[in-house]
Amino acid sequence: MTKSARKRKSASPGGDRSSHDDEPEEGGADEATALIAETTANLARLARRHQLDMLDYLLRMAHLEAEERLRLRSRRKLS
């Protein structure tokens, strides 16, 4: 296969779509952030239970970031 044939193949529509393209877009950023906060909290508990310290740490950091974004977002809506 030539270089140009590979380029055309990889650039074809729908050829390399990520999984989020397959899901219908429901809700907005707030709903996504809330889901991420809940999911990362659950995953952090799982990591902690299995003594996966680095994963636990990273997941807790992601959870804190999501919670902070929700807090800031709700503060702006109150103003």
For the segment 30-78, what is each residue's pLDDT rounded down to a tens digit?
Answer: 999 999 999 999 999 999 999 999 999 999 999 999 999 999 988 877 7
In a domain, residue 16? The reply is no
In a domain, residue 18? The reply is no
In a domain, residue 73? The reply is yes
15 has a pLDDT exceeding 70 = no
Instruction: Identify which of 49, 48, 50, 72 has the alpha carbon closest to the alpha carbon of residue 60.
Output: 48
pTM recorded for the entire structure = 0.64
In a domain, residue 42? The reply is yes
**Is the distance from CB of 44 to CB of 63 less than 8 angstroms?**
yes
Tell me, what's the pLDDT at 12? 46
SS3 call for 16: coil
Tell me, what's the pLDDT at 10? 45
**The domain containing residue 33 runs over which residues?**
28-79
